[in-house]
Amino acid sequence: MVESNTIPSFTTLTDLAAERLGGKAILCSDDFFAPKENLLKPGRGIFIPDKYTDRGKWMDGWESRRKRTPGHDWCIIQLATSGKIYGVDIDTNHFLGNHPPHASIGACNISSVARTDFDKITWKEILPKTALQPGSQNFFEITDHNLYTHLKLNIYPDGGVARLKVYGEVFKNWNAINNDETVDLAAAINGAKSILCNDMFFSHMENLLMPERGVNMGDGWETKRNRTPGNRDWVIVRLAHEGVIEKVLIDTCHFKGNYPDSCLIEGCNILLADENKINSPAMNWKTILPQSKLKADNEHFFDKEIENKEPFTHVRLSIFPDGGISRMRLFGKVKMER
């Protein structure tokens, strides 16, 4: 287990189980007090002191009843996408007198399975039975880096878990993509990742690459108000695959009094090993979309405006002077290895 006061480096990876990415809690042994779906929601879970349901205290997590029979409780998670897992967070936030003393995780790789077929699955143990701390983020490094599609969270014997985060790398079979197929090179579900920005005071840069439109103003990338003349804020995104960008969507959904005046998109082509130098002055950024005006709460499509159709591995989105953008889509063609 990682020390509780240390945030491990694997938490910068994609949460493969996140509900907003497409992860699903599909089956559990019991969720009498709080539904299994809460496990995969954003954040760490909240606590409302005086909120109750007809079954007892309302809790923002997955909570089973007190077990009076042999065995333990479990929940099966379908990851949003197959991937390699590098670490997990079994978060017992706000579960104090009712957290599970121990947990383990099994994994499997299956393309599709009927609900009734899970009894036939052989689960590979990627986290052995391990003690959990109450009201805490319980971080565990995973050393088994095989590809998995489903997890089984076991808790011993019962209790509540606020959130399960599964940090890893998205796997996409790019060999199955045709040369003329258009894909969103900036989609998190395809493996794109926001890796660096100068400011994300109000909301996280990861939101830019999530599926669907933003659900509210907090579901986007928003910087603080900047009073510096000529300021520009920026975020750098590692594309899901090296490719040529042919169409851009910048969505300011829900951003009305705080949308940026304009935006600019640039690209570069570097090796992953050189990514630590990406914000150096020597980096050669080429304009893809020249500085373009934006409107409030609007989807902005650009294609004829695109200036450069070279293959790129990374893009830098700049906004002028500050503000919020809900989503960025970069549609184009993948550059295949020859």
pLDDT digits (tens, 9 = 90+) for 233-269: 999 999 999 999 999 999 999 999 999 999 999 999 9
Q: Give the residue range(s) of CATH 2.60.120.260 domains in the chain.
A: 9-170, 176-334
Burial degree of 16 (CB within 10 A; 0-12, 13-18, 19+)? buried
Distance between CA 22 and CA 88 in Å, rounded? 17
Please state the CATH superfamily assignment of the domain spanning residues 9-170 in this structure. Answer: Galactose-binding domain-like (2.60.120.260)
Q: What is the predicted pLDDT for the residue at 116?
A: 52
Tokens at residue 143, please?
């050393």
Task: State how far the alpha carbon of 59 is from the alpha carbons of 10, 197, 220, in Å.
Answer: 27, 34, 26
pLDDT in tens, 75-103: 999 999 999 999 999 999 999 999 999 99
For tokens 């579960």, the residue is 95
pLDDT tier, 113 (very low <50, low <70, confident <90, very high otherwise): low
Q: What is the predicted pLDDT for the residue at 296?
A: 98
Name the more confident of 117 and 29.
29
Under CATH, to which class is 176-334 assigned? mainly beta
- Tell me phi and psi for residue 20, to 5 degrees: -70, -20
What pTM, to 2 d.p., does this model score?
Answer: 0.93
pLDDT in tens, 30-41: 999 999 999 999
pLDDT in tens, 306-338: 999 999 999 999 999 999 999 999 999 999 764
